[in-house]
Amino acid sequence: MKTFTLFITVLLNALSTGFFFAWSVSVILGTKRISDLTYLETMQHINKEILNPAFFIVFFGSLITLIITTCLQFNNKVMFWLVLASAIIYLIGTFGITAFKNVPLNNELDILKITKLSLSELKNFRTYYESTWNHYHNIRTISSMISFILLLISIFIKK
């Protein structure tokens, strides 16, 4: 049971980390090349479409299985501390940043009537939104990577 739970935890965490990393090296780079209106429209659509079962399973599943895996590791102190550190980093740096920083920005964008904004207003909002959102995205991506690395280390010291 412990091994299976650890496997699922590592898999979900790897998928989450991969998602955030792939976003950083593809979507962010691609959206830098489009107009302000297109960028804001694109992000509005993405923010709606990301709310799907596959994303929820990976994003929330990583956190849930990290907590369960931490609880199952009491007999192995080194592994327990590594998995606990991984869980805390994911909770604060990935989940927390997403919930309390990126999602509020997404909600702010969602209610914005972008077709009614002037070119200047579009540019100003995009500059604010994109720079702030990407800053927090970088934090959650790095946090997710650190969480994943700690899980990998915990596997290697398991025995």
- Mean pLDDT for 71-97 is 93
| Rounded-to-integer distance, Cα 151 and Cα 159, Å | 14
Structure tokens at 67: 């907590």
| Rounded-to-integer distance, Cα 143 and Cα 137, Å | 10
- Per-residue pLDDT at 159 exceeds 60: no
Would the pTM count as exceeding 0.75? yes
Q: What DSSP character marks residue 23?
A: I
| Rounded-to-integer distance, Cα 22 and Cα 114, Å | 27
User: Hunting for tokens 């299985």 — which residue is that?
Assistant: 65
- Per-residue pLDDT at 101 exceeds 80: yes
pLDDT digits (tens, 9 = 90+) for 23-81: 999 999 999 999 999 999 999 999 999 999 999 999 999 999 999 999 988 788 899 99
- Mean pLDDT for 112-140 is 97
- Residue 38 CB coordination number (10 Å): 13
CB contact at 8 A, 62 and 9? yes
Q: How high is the mean pLDDT of the chain?
A: 95
CB contact at 8 A, 94 and 147? yes
- Residue 4 CB coordination number (10 Å): 8
Integer-rounded Cα Rg, in Å, for the chain is 18
